Amino acid sequence: MELRARVLLWKLVLLQSSSVLLSSGPAGPATPGSSVVSESAVSWAAGARAVLRCQSPRMVWTQDRLHDRQRVVHWDLSGGPAGGSARRLVDMYSAGEQRVYEPRDSGRLLLTPTAFQDGNFSLLIRAVEDTDEGLYTCNLHHHYCHLYESLAVRLEVTDDPRAAGAHWDGEKEVLAVERGAPALLTCVNRAHVWTDRHLEEAQQVVHWDRQPPGVPHDRADRLLDLYASGERRAYGPPFLRERVAVGADAFARGDFSLRIDPLEPADEGTYSCHLHHHYCGLHERRVFHLKVTEPAARPPPRDSPGNGSSHSGAPGPGAGDPTLTRGRSVINVIVPEGRAHFFQQLGYVLATLLLFILLLITVILATRQRRRGGYEYSDKKSKSKGKDVNMVEFAVAAGDQPLYRREDIRLGYKNNLLKEKVGLSHSPLPAKSIDLDKEFRKEYCK
């Protein structure tokens, strides 16, 4: 009875103690600081679509449909009296299902059903036998977080009650148990990753930061915040938010790559992708040094009809002559005409038509003015001739008149009148003065 009481007391002490933890497991919440896992320099041309790759399978929200079975604990035994390789004794999933591999161990090896709620994965052997002696290993696997932890306990079977007890050999716990007595192999890990399954979605976050050239990391600008719950937050000016995006299925694929489309020279700088999985204790940072270059000029196509090349591939007439210099290729670019171009051409046509009409009116007016000036000139000329020429000055000379009567007419004069007439006929006619101006005025007045 004294030995059994000592064993029960030892069991209670082990169950109540929380200081015995897995040597490789996390003892508390993960530190908020993130470690740089990669740093690379990338270069993209301005106007192109830049993609900064940030991927991690550990951030995938759902890998399969097992959900609770993503966590499992199993006990293995090696180095027993019979020797041989390690064999699986019992395992249990987070859903509470236990499986014992050896029929003789059924009902003799037990795990508490609430192991994944209270973090106690200790193995209870009801009655220790000689074949139970060996090295026991407690293995914890978290398939979702990719965590693998283990704890070793050595069990020794003795017939001396005074030799029963537990001690630490520097690497593992050594437990000595009397044959036929119960043995409790302790494996306790109360880290939240093994107990709080429903906090996964609330503790996943990804964010992108940008550092302009010359700005330190602690003063970086936040671009995006992504949560596994589906919430998204964008920061920065609107013209930048419209060009920056991350895939909608980022947490389903583990791909949080940042796309910048189109890329501008002002986007140059340092970009950081922060992955925080507080549930799994994942804190990673990937750094990208983005450099924006000038867009490369697109070469003209070889067989285009505008660059002087033929489609047949045959060399031109001067292809074999090295002395001939090759001219530059000419590319015909046809720009579609818009409404502004149409109105511009219409304005040119109307302006030309208006100029022609003005020229025609000017010619007509000049012609009419010239005709009117001709009439006035002829009238003035005729008046000036009438005033300047004095027809009185022109006298008809007597010498100009022909002499009709040269022969002597010998007639007998009966009276003085006849004699006078004959005298007048033989004498030269007097000069007659004619006033042409007076005659012209008479005609003009009629």
Q: What is the pLDDT along the chain (446 residues), one digit of tens a residue?
A: 444 444 443 444 344 443 333 333 333 333 356 788 899 999 989 888 999 999 888 787 655 555 566 789 999 998 876 666 888 999 998 877 889 999 989 889 999 988 988 899 999 999 999 889 999 999 999 887 788 899 999 999 999 888 889 999 888 999 999 999 999 999 999 887 788 765 555 678 999 999 988 888 888 899 999 988 888 999 887 878 889 999 988 888 889 999 999 899 989 999 999 999 877 788 899 999 999 998 877 666 665 454 444 444 444 444 444 444 444 566 665 656 666 777 888 889 999 999 999 999 999 999 988 888 766 656 565 555 554 445 444 444 444 444 444 444 455 545 566 667 766 666 665 656 666 677 667 666 65
Q: Which of 191, 209, 234 is the last residue of a domain?
A: 191
User: What is the domain-level CATH number for residue 114?
Assistant: 2.60.40.10
pTM: 0.49
Quick check: helix, strand or coil at residue 396?
coil
Residue 192, C-beta contacts closer than 8 angstroms, at least 6 positions apart:
29, 199, 279
Question: Could you give the C-alpha distances from 205 to 20, 202, 402, in angstroms and in order?
Answer: 32, 8, 145
User: What is residue 384's predicted lDDT score, i.e. its pLDDT?
Assistant: 54
Q: Which of 260, 276, 293 is the last residue of a domain?
A: 293
| Same domain? 75 vs 60 | no
User: What is residue 445's predicted lDDT score, i.e. its pLDDT?
Assistant: 66
Q: Whole domain around residue 269: which residue ranges?
A: 33-64+200-293
Q: What is the DSSP code string of 191-227? A: -HHHH-GGGTGGGEEEEEEEE-TT--GGGPEEEEEEE
Q: Is 8 left (phi over 0), alpha (psi -120 to 50) or beta?
A: alpha
Considering its fold, how many domains does the chain have in total? 2
For the chain, count helices (H), then strands (E).
Answer: 8, 19
User: What is residue 194's predicted lDDT score, i.e. its pLDDT?
Assistant: 84
d(CA 231, CA 205) in angstroms, rounded, equals 10
Two tokens at 161? 């009650």
d(CA 234, CA 251) in angstroms, rounded, equals 17
| Same domain? 89 vs 160 | yes
Domain assignment present for residue 378? The answer is: no
Domain assignment present for residue 283? The answer is: yes
| Same domain? 81 vs 142 | yes
